[in-house]
Structure 1
Amino acid sequence: MQISYVYILKCADDSYYTGVTSNLEQRMYQHDSAYFPDCYTAPRRPVELVFYAEFTNIGFAIDKEKQIKKWSRAKKEALVNGNYDELPNLAKKRFEK
């Protein structure tokens, strides 16, 4: 059984990057070294790994990555900071009157 990882990086420009990989150590090296020069993180280095989660099903990991990528910055920060109780409230859309 291969472990997959969903991870969040905080970039030097204060943005977040969410990705999925089966080798987190290798992927971090690739981000740090700009191994893929056209990658989102290459011009935004240095990057810091601020969150990761392990999955035994790559399909589920990919689904979770796609879900997190759609989240607001506030919701991503709640996840990064371990404030899991805040996640449902941050998912609610705010309607202006």
Structure 2
Amino acid sequence: MELPYTVYILKCANGQYYTGYSKNLKNRLKNHANGKVRFTKDKLPFEVVHVSLFSNKQKAYDFERYLKSGSGIAFRNKRFI
């Protein structure tokens, strides 16, 4: 079974966290590292602290949105970092 959709959490150099969604994680991380993502370009370097894989695009998107909510941030802090 292929799991092409990814939700990921990055810890930036300044201690902030970035939560994102991608179908191609390798390219997305390359864009972050090359300063092509507005939020992280001035917070380099970063480290990947969590990756979740999904087979369903909508479920991945919904999980990303949840992790950006208040209760999702609390969940992230307790379970993933």
- The SS at the match of 2:52 is strand
Give % identity.
34
- The SS at the match of 1:75 is helix
Structure 2 unaligned blocks of 5 or more: none
Structure with a larger share of its residues in helix: 1
**1:74 Cα deviation from its structure 2 partner:** 4.4
**1:35 Cα deviation from its structure 2 partner:** 2.1
Q: Larger Rg: 1 or 2? A: 1
Contact 2:3 2:53 in 1 (8 A): no
Q: Give the residue type in structure 1 aligned to 2:43.
A: R
- The SS at the match of 1:44 is coil
State whether structure 2 residue 71 is matched by structure 1 residue 75: no
Q: What's 1:5 paired with?
A: 6
Moved over 2 A (4+): 71-75
Structure 1 unaligned blocks of 5 or more: 82-97
**1:76 Cα deviation from its structure 2 partner:** 1.6
Higher relative contact order (CA 8 A, sep 6+): 2
State whether structure 2 residue 42 is matched by structure 1 residue 43: yes
Residues matched between the structures, number = 79
- The SS at the match of 1:43 is coil
Q: What's 2:30 paired with?
A: 29
Deviates more, 1:25-34 or 1:65-74: 65-74
Q: Normalization by structure 1: what TM-score?
A: 0.73
Q: What's 1:57 paired with?
A: 56
Q: Give the residue type in structure 2 aligned to 1:31.
A: H
